[in-house]
Amino acid sequence: MYKTIEELVTRIDEKNSDGTVSELIGVSIDKCFIKSVANTNGTDLSKYKIIRKNDFAVSLMQVSRDGKIPVARLEEYEEAIMSPAYPIFRVKDKNVILPEYLEMWFKRPEFDREAAFIAVGGVRGSMPWEEFAKMKLPVPPIEKQRKIVNAYKIVTDRIALKQKINDNLEATLNTVFVKMYEETDEDSSVLLSELCSLASSKRVFAEDYVSDGVPFYRGKEITQKRNGEPISDPLFISHNHFASLKANYGIPVCGDILITAVGTIGNSYFVQDEEFYFKDGNIIWLKDFIEPSLNYYIYDYMQTPIFKRQLEGICIGSTQTALTIVALSNLKVKKPRTAELALYCKKSKALRSAIQTNNGEIERLTQVAKAMLASLSR
């Protein structure tokens, strides 16, 4: 049985009248709550609205432009405050629909596409609450909802666990690396270009994209790959084009490193055994390392605050910063003695292998979660 959102929820307009709630949050395009970075010192907090646990908040501005509705259910706090610009609502009757089930529906790409279509005629692509409230969704019996929600939670909890394990492994590696790096003599510093070759790719134009073929990565996709996330908006080039690029210019191979050089700078990806190509100018390619396993050392170096601080000093541009091959080539890196390097890289290989295995499982589980969301309309 289908019901409209307005049949299932009620809008909440509870003011923070006495100013006692001070945790200010917003909703991101990724459908989760984020802490506000605004300085609230001296701000009249009584003008904000209160949101409570299991309540929803939504941003209906520029929906058609973004192609997504930022909407989320509050889990992290018992209560918080939000800008009056956010409509806040909660489920009327949990015996009719579970908040968790409604949240699953909001996460579906099909929901976003429908909303973006409706919002096309709105002012600046925005969506009035009245239109949002008219959107319909299937509401199965409550017991079926519980089974769906519980099954989905098992999958998402497993994803969170694997991500936490990876975060701990990354932290361990980072700690070991920084200790070794700080103990390495400054006189051992060499230019990064003395340890490997740095290059870009051959230019690929938008008209070269095809609907299916060999994956083509920009900075956004490199960041997603680095985080073990599935590619959200895949691009492809033809197999024939890829074969030509491979034969004439070479392609990244397992163990090479790619680093984002425009926009969000410094996100690095350790290439696995896979075929893909990447965008010139946006990404720098590190290859042909002078010693076996040196790529593990360089990659781990790129995950440290030490490297991030060095990047700040060599990026160019005022409105949009960029990292050039020349600047990165001239970056000075301490190089431990061969025996110490070999011992470290052995540890790094083992931990990186475990991280990659977990990333593979995270990607598979993410696909399972997506399939579960897609099945809600059946």
Q: Give the tens place of pLDDT for each residue, 357-371.
A: 999 899 899 999 999
Residue 153 lies in a domain: no
* Co-location of 133 and 204 in the same domain: no
Average pLDDT over residues 303-329: 87
- Cβ-proximal residues to 132 (8 Å cutoff; 6+ apart), any chain: 5, 58, 60, 69, 87, 115
Q: Among candidates 311, 230, 209, 313, which has minimal Cα distance to 268?
A: 311
How far is residue 1's CA from residue 138's CA, in Å, rounded to a whole number? 5
The three-class DSSP label of residue 11 is strand
* Co-location of 91 and 171 in the same domain: no
Residue 298 lies in a domain: yes
Residue 273 lies in a domain: yes
* Co-location of 96 and 188 in the same domain: no
- Cβ-proximal residues to 241 (8 Å cutoff; 6+ apart), any chain: 204, 208, 213, 214
Average pLDDT over residues 299-322: 86
* Co-location of 90 and 185 in the same domain: no
Residue 68: pLDDT above 90?
no
Residue 150 lies in a domain: no
Average pLDDT over residues 25-37: 91
CA-derived radius of gyration, the chain: 24
| The pLDDT value given to residue 232 | 81
Mean pLDDT, the chain, whole residue set: 92
How far is residue 61's CA from residue 331's CA, in Å, rounded to a whole number? 43
Q: Considering 122, 137, 152, which residue would you say is the last residue of a domain?
A: 137
| The pLDDT value given to residue 123 | 57
Residue 124: pLDDT above 70?
no
The domain containing residue 203 runs over which residues? 162-371
| The pLDDT value given to residue 121 | 64
* Co-location of 216 and 353 in the same domain: yes
Q: Among candidates 82, 91, 109, which has minimal Cα distance to 16?
A: 82
Res. 42 pLDDT band, cuts 50 70 90: confident
The three-class DSSP label of residue 74 is coil
* Co-location of 167 and 110 in the same domain: no
| The pLDDT value given to residue 377 | 77
Residue 146 lies in a domain: no
Res. 330 pLDDT band, cuts 50 70 90: very high
Q: Among candidates 69, 104, 144, which has minimal Cα distance to 369?
A: 104
How far is residue 332's CA from residue 42's CA, in Å, rounded to a whole number? 45
Residue 122: pLDDT above 70?
no
* Co-location of 50 and 89 in the same domain: yes
* Co-location of 13 and 61 in the same domain: yes
* Co-location of 106 and 209 in the same domain: no
> Is the model more confident about 124 or about 136?
136
Res. 318 pLDDT band, cuts 50 70 90: low
Average pLDDT over residues 335-340: 91
How far is residue 59's CA from residue 62's CA, in Å, rounded to a whole number? 9
Tokens of 153: 């939670």
Tokens of 96: 């009719």
Cα maximum dimension of the chain: 73
Q: Among candidates 100, 162, 164, 156, which has minimal Cα distance to 369?
A: 156
| The pLDDT value given to residue 319 | 62
CB atoms within 10 A of CB 180: 18
Average pLDDT over residues 172-182: 93
Residues β-bridged to residue 79: 52
CATH of the domain at 231: 3.90.220.20
| Cα distance from N-terminal residue to C-terminal residue, the chain | 11
Residue 313 lies in a domain: yes
List phi, psi (to 5°) of 190: -135, 165
Residue 120: pLDDT above 80?
no
Residue 13 lies in a domain: yes
> Is the model more confident about 112 or about 67?
112
Q: Is 86 left (phi over 0), alpha (psi -120 to 50) or beta?
A: beta
List phi, psi (to 5°) of 337: -65, 155
Residue 39: pLDDT above 80?
no
Average pLDDT over residues 272-294: 92
| The pLDDT value given to residue 38 | 74
Host H or E run for residue 50: strand 49-52
Average pLDDT over residues 306-318: 85
Contact between 272 and 254 under an 8 Å Cβ cutoff? The reply is yes
Instruction: Sort 165 into a burial class: Cβ within 10 Å, 0-12 / 13-18 / 19+.
Output: middle
Tokens of 200: 């870009």
Average pLDDT over residues 180-205: 94
* Co-location of 119 and 252 in the same domain: no
* Co-location of 194 and 318 in the same domain: yes
| The pLDDT value given to residue 75 | 95
Residue 376 lies in a domain: no
- Length of the chain, in residues: 378
The three-class DSSP label of residue 257 is strand
Residue for token pair 């990064």: 192
pLDDT > 90 fraction of the chain, expressed in percent and rounded? 79
- Cβ-proximal residues to 260 (8 Å cutoff; 6+ apart), any chain: 219, 222, 223, 266, 267, 268, 282, 283, 323
Q: Considering 137, 154, 188, which residue would you say is the last residue of a domain?
A: 137
Average pLDDT over residues 320-342: 91
| The pLDDT value given to residue 189 | 95
* Co-location of 186 and 113 in the same domain: no
Residue 141: pLDDT above 70?
yes
Number of domains composing the chain: 2
